[in-house]
Every structure is written in C-alpha cells, then in structure tokens.
Amino acid sequence: MRAIHLVMAGCLGISLSAQGCLRPSPPAGGWPTTLELFVPVTFGDGYQTIGSLVRPDVPAPSCGWPLLVFVHPLGQNRAFALAAQTALASQGYAVWSYDVRGQGQGIAINAGHPHAGTTLWGPIERCDLAEVIQFVAGHSPWSGIVDATRVAVVGVSQGAAHAWQAAAWSGSVVSAPDRLPMTFPSIACVVAMDLLADPVDDWLRGGGMFSSWFVEAVTSDLPSFRLDPGFAAQCRSAFLAQDPAALAAAFAAEQRGVDGPLATSTVPILYSHAYCDVIASPLTAVARLEQRPAPQRCVLSTIGHGAPINDHELAFRDGLVLRWLHRWLWNVPNGVDAESGFVLGELPLAAAERDDPAHLWNRHHVDALGTGAATRWFLHDGDVMQLAPPLPPQLGASIQQVLDPAATSFTPADYFDQPAVRDLANVLAACPLHERVYSATLAEAAQVARSATLHLRLVPAQPRWQLAALLTVEPPGGAEVMLASAGLCGSVSVLGVAEDHDLRLPPIAARLPAGSVLRLRLRNLWLRESPMTTSLSVAPLFQDFTVDLVHGDAPAGSWLDLPLEAVTPKLVTDHEGLDLAAPAAISYSLRAGPGHAVDPYFVALSFSGHQPGIPFLNDVIPLAGDWLSIASAASTAAPFLGFLGWLDAVGEVTCTFDLSGIGALPQVLNGLQFTAAAFVWDGPWAPTGAASNPCDVLLR
C-alpha cells in the first residue's frame, strides 16, 4: 500500500504543476449546477434563437469556467442530452446549448424570416456558431464566470458536423448571406460524435452516389426541423438530373467542405463513430485524421445512428471526452494526447453478445489504420478467394443490373417524391439484386484490427455504373455478419476499356475463429446487412448496366488485402470509472484465447499512462513504468489479487485490484486514471509471449 500512496502523491504533484489557471477539484459526484434555460440571441441577419447555460453553482475560479458549446442533432433542440450537459458542467465547465437554425423554438419565432430554414452545415450555420460564442463572451451577467477564451465545441450527429467546422475554421474569417464577415473564435478543442468530418462524403458517396440518408433528410416532412427551401430545391434538382457532380460543385462553391482548412488546423479533435451507422461509416473521417499533424483521438465501435448501445463502450467514450476536455481547457497533463490515436472496439460476432448492452467488448489500440502487412486473397473463377494467384485462362465474372421493364414508376422523380417507391421491397422488385460472392475458409484463428483494401480490375459495358463491396464473416455455427462495406461508381467509362479501382473498406476490429468463412460480396445494390437492418445505403442507378470483373495475377487481376494478425491477449474490465469517495474492487478479465490455454500470465498497473511502454521479452507492455507498476507486476498479495497465475482451459482468467479497504482517495485525482496491461507467455516461462492492450479506469 505504501507504493500506491507514493504514486498518488507523485500524481498529485504532477496535477498541481499544470501551467495557467488550475482546475479546481470537484467533490464526489461533481459540483451542483444551475441552469439558465431561456436566453434569447439574435444573429447578424436578424434570425432569433434561444440558448441555455448550465454551470457549476459555486463561485467560479479566478479565470472563470471554460466554455463548452454543445450542439444538438438534427431535429432536436438545446435540451437534448441535458443530463449529459449537466454532468459535464458539474466537472467544471459552463455548457452552452442553443436551438440550431430551423429547429427548436426558432421555428415558431422566425416565421417569415428569409433564412428561417436550416442548410444543415453550411456557411449560415457556421456563422451562427461563431456568433453564439461571441454572444456568450460578451454577455455581461456572465463576466468573470464564463471564460470564452477557452472554448470547446461538443457535437452529436448534426452537432458533430458543426464541431468539425469549428476545428477547421478556428481563427479564420467566415461569412454568409446577409452577414458581415467575421473571425471565427479561437477553439481549444472539439469533440465530434457520430458524423463524418464532411457530410458531403455521406450525401455524395465517392462523389457519384446519392446516399439514402440524403434522400430521407431532404424529403422529410417532420415538424422538428425546417429545411431552407432553396437548399432543398437545389438537392432535389440534382437528384432528378442524376447529377451528383453538380451538387458537389455547388457545395464546394459555398465552402461547405473542410478538407483544406482542416488539414492545416491545429485544433485537437476527439472523434467517435459506430462501425454500423445508418448514415455512413467512419472511413472518410478516419482518413482525414490520419493526414493531420494536430493532436487527435478516434474511438470506433458502437453508439451511433441505428447502432447498438453498449454501456461499457459509452462509459469509456464519455470518460475519454472528460479527459480530452481537462487536457485542452484546463491544461491538465493527463497523457490523453500521448496515447494511441485510434481505439477500436472488437465487434462481437455472436448476436447475443453484440446486442447485450452489458457485454464487455475487447479493445484494440492501434497507431494507424490501413497500414502494415496484409494477407492477399486473389479472386478466382469458381467464386473463391485463394492466397495463390489464379493461373490463366480465367473467365472472370460479371455483375449486372437489369431493371424490370414493367416498373414504369421506378424513376428518379418518383423515387425522390414517393416513399412507397423507396420501400426496399419495391426497390428489389424493380431493380433485382445481382451479386458475385467469393469465399475462403480460415484454417487458424485470426484477428483484424485495421482497414482492408480491395483492388478490382473492371471492364464496364456502359459509361455509368455502380457497385458495392461487402466483407462478411460466418463463424463456425454462427450467422453471417457484415464487417465492412463500401461502394464505387463510374460516370464516363469507355465500353470495353479495363479500369483499375482501389477501394478502401472502413476500419473494423473483430476476432475470427478458426473455420470462419470469409466472403466478399460484389453487387449492383449497396445494401446494408446484419448486424444492421437490411436497407439501402445509397440510391440505385435508374438504368441497366454490366460490369465485368477480371481474375488474374497482379497487376492485371482482382484481390482483397486483409490485415489478418495472430490473436493477441485482450484485457477488459467491468469498471470504466472508480469512485474516489468510495473506491470499489476493479475486476479485470484476461482473454487470450484457446491457443494460450493453461499458459502463465501476469498483470501490471500504472498511474502514468500508456507511453512509452515497458519492453518485456519480445514485446512491449503498453504502460509507462512507475512505482505502481513495480508494486503490482506479477503480485499475488493484496490489493493485487490474481496478478500472476495460469490461464484456464479456454485461455482466460479474472483478477482484481481491490482498493475498497483504504477509504476515500483525494478528489484532486479526479480526471486521472489507472491503466492495466497484461503479458501472456507462449508456454510455461517461454522466451516469447504477447502483451495485451492497455485497459483504463477513470478516477472520478
């Protein structure tokens, strides 16, 4: 116990050494809060909205409370997730939320205003966001209470698009119709949850396909939001003309995109997204993060539009949000910016586990996505994937789309204007699904924790065509599960001329048992499949087409590069947080798999984070070594129960870190964390083995 107290004392010293205004230590459960629910705001074009502010109901520190701007999803209002807003405020923040244009109380207040409708994420909304920050900064009743020089934007869905915009345009001049140019306030950090960096990447997939969410959003008649009529007409016109390029050009002319400013922005970004999201996959946002030199974190797993909710994954994300805000708004050196940039939850293949909100998902911490070694599976005649390239002659395959000639109402106009025409059963009747399915069986268990890439050599028979690629797995005795999907299209292809296309699939983490059947489904319709509800991801093309697929060796062939790895040990815990006022026993489960049955293991803890890691035998344990590491590593004494031993017959074990007997811990530790990691030998005291992932527990 003396070692634990020494480490805690050292941690206290680190926490108090932060430069600038020190973050006050909140009591157990956070400070009480006060809410100002109705605060009118008038924008520069005369549009009126209502905002709310929730903040700690205690005297503010000398520098005031940092400002969090919480932006709600489409069709919601400023009261969305008020409990979450209050929880953030209780930890030392002033949380401002407002009814985004065309939503909430603004619908009734602004009847007849020329810009009363929302354009979702356009220059108007960007200027609105800048102006509400300026309003809070200049609101005299909050002088000395709210510090608008330390600002974060936290957004969900529509709000995430605004958060990405804030990161991109921080400190830059912005403008909109009927508004004077203004400088966007400086942003300290953002948290973007459940939407891509640039929604155009969803609406116009690959620049040439209209997403189903695009159609539903523009055609919606819900009373909870009002679209700008000109914006809606612009979108409808492009769809009826089947001209996504024109709409993309119009969006670019409005400076809706974030590519340029985001690439050079230094604003730290925390991004979270579900693998299985009705709106879009996280692929393009991940690609943008990979290109940025600024601090960033990315959490991918569950929680999103139409995705399963997992209590542990949600708690992990929420804890990471708090640490992110503490780091960039209070300058707390908690190491959140020194950890792996990407954390991927391991998608359970069994529905009973995937749909259980209490099931503990494994996690992978990776440095990059889509990099490193990959296993190349060549596509062969006979609809198989093999590691060896196909030998000529190969016939190849075709994917065709043949519309039912009797489906006379299956036109862009009817599809856009009539929900019945968009009904999936009607679409499949008018535009039957056609696919080629390539399969391979895994001889050994493996895990995937990065993006797969697909190389296709195609010979189109028409200028316009579109294809979808679905990567699925069927575990032994289980149901087929979609791991990832993506689409590609052509608009100016030349009949009979071969084209090479490289398609990156969204990142995914999953453990694939031996005997699993991998399938690559290439089809004319981009359909989502289980674990999602079967539905269209993008609108179909309203014409016949044929695309021939070439089988052959590189470079004149088609193949799948899948980053398969040996299964590594995973450490999970039933506690995402530890109550400092009443610390409980933390249970850890080590899952190494049947290949490590009865192998020895040890577990260690750190109060100092993940980096730089502790070299051990042939691997690196993802812990920063400190006194707690020395005290805990391979211990068999309290409070480190079971930190050394042998795995059971299926390669698993449970151990416990029990602080329940030491009383309350100091609240100054609030916002920091314990990190655990394990090492499993490749047999009794073998010279090799494998380290687990880091496993964090937030102190609060």
pLDDT digits (tens, 9 = 90+) for 35-59: 999 999 999 999 999 999 999 999 9
Pair (544, 622) in one structural domain: no
pLDDT class of 548 with cuts at 50, 70, 90: very high
Same domain, 43 and 176: yes
Q: Are 506 and 583 in a shared domain?
A: no
On the question of pLDDT at 671 being above 60, the answer is yes
Structural domain contains residue 3: no
Q: What DSSP character marks residue 336?
A: G
Rounded to whole angstroms, how far apart are CA atoms 580 and 696? 15
Apex 30 CA angle, 24 and 32, nearest 5: 100
Regarding whether 139 and 265 lie in a shared domain, the answer is: yes
In a domain, 315, yes or no: no
Residue where a domain stops, chosen among 279, 310, 336: 279
- Tell me the CATH number at 693: 2.60.40.10
Among 541, 564, 587, which residue terminates a domain?
564
Residue 594, preceding peptide bond in cis (omega within 30° of 0):
no
Q: Quick one: what percent of the chain has pLDDT higher than 70?
A: 96
Q: What is the mean pLDDT of the chain?
A: 94
Say which residue the tokens 């000398």 belong to.
Answer: 62
Return the SS3 of 496: coil
Q: Can you name the residues that pair with 573 across neighbouring β-strands?
A: 588
The reported pLDDT for the residue numbered 80 is 97
- The pLDDT value recorded for residue 661 is 86
| Residue 62 predicted with pLDDT over 80 | yes
Considering the domain architecture, whether residues 454 and 598 belong to the same structural domain is answered as: no
- pTM: predicted TM-score of the whole model, two decimal places: 0.95
Omega of the bond leading into 531 within 30 degrees of 0 (cis): yes
Structure tokens given for 224:
């909870």
Q: Tell me how far the alpha carbon of residue 539 is from its chain's centroid.
A: 24
Taking the CA atoms of 586, 592, 596 and 601 in sequence, report the sign of the dihedral they define. Answer: negative
Question: In terms of Cα–Cα distance, which of 403, 462, 167 is closest to 285?
Answer: 167
Residue 340 lies in a domain: no
CA distance 132 to 145: 17
Q: How many CB atoms lie within 10 A of CB 185?
A: 23
- Coil, helix or strand at residue 138: helix
Identify whether 290 is part of a domain. no
CB 520 within 8 A of CB 385: yes
**What local confidence, expressed as pLDDT, does residue 16 receive?**
37
Same domain, 159 and 229: yes
590 & 498 share domain: no
Residue 464 lies in a domain: yes
pLDDT band at 8 (very low <50, low <70, confident <90, very high): very low
Residue 357 lies in a domain: no
Q: 549-597, pLDDT tens digit by residue?
A: 999 999 999 999 999 999 999 999 999 999 999 999 999 999 999 999 9
The CATH number of the domain holding residue 170 is 3.40.50.1820
95 & 240 share domain: yes
What would the pLDDT profile of 449-495 be if each residue is shown by its tens digit?
Answer: 999 999 999 999 999 999 999 999 999 999 999 999 999 999 999 99
Q: What is the domain extent for residue 576?
A: 570-699
Question: Does 383 share its domain with 505?
Answer: yes
Pick from 85, 70, 89, 81: nearest CA to 30: 89
The pLDDT assigned to 371 comes to 67
Domain co-membership, 508 together with 575: no
User: Residues, the chain, total?
Assistant: 700
Mean pLDDT in residue range 96-104: 98
Specify the pLDDT at position 158.
97
Domain boundary residue among 506, 530, 564?
A: 564
% of the chain surpassing 90 pLDDT? 90
In terms of domains, do 551 and 597 share one? no
Cα end-to-end span (Å), the chain = 20
Residue 442, domain CATH: 2.60.120.260
Residue 299 is assigned to a structural domain of this protein: no
Q: What is the mean pLDDT of residues 78-99?
A: 97
Asked whether residue 527 falls in the same domain as residue 607, the answer is no
User: Is the residue at 348 inside a domain?
Assistant: no
Which residues 6+ apart lie within 8 Å of 294 measured at CB? Answer: 265, 266, 267, 268, 269
pLDDT of residue 9: 44
What is the tens place of the pLDDT at every residue in 484-534? 999 999 999 999 999 999 999 999 999 999 999 999 999 999 999 999 999
Helix (H, G, I), strand (E, B) or coil at 522: strand
Q: How many whole angstroms separate alpha carbon 328 and alpha carbon 151?
A: 9
What is the count of structural domains for the chain? 3
- For residue 612, whether the previous peptide bond is cis, meaning omega lies within 30 degrees of 0, is yes
Q: What does the pLDDT read at residue 512?
A: 97
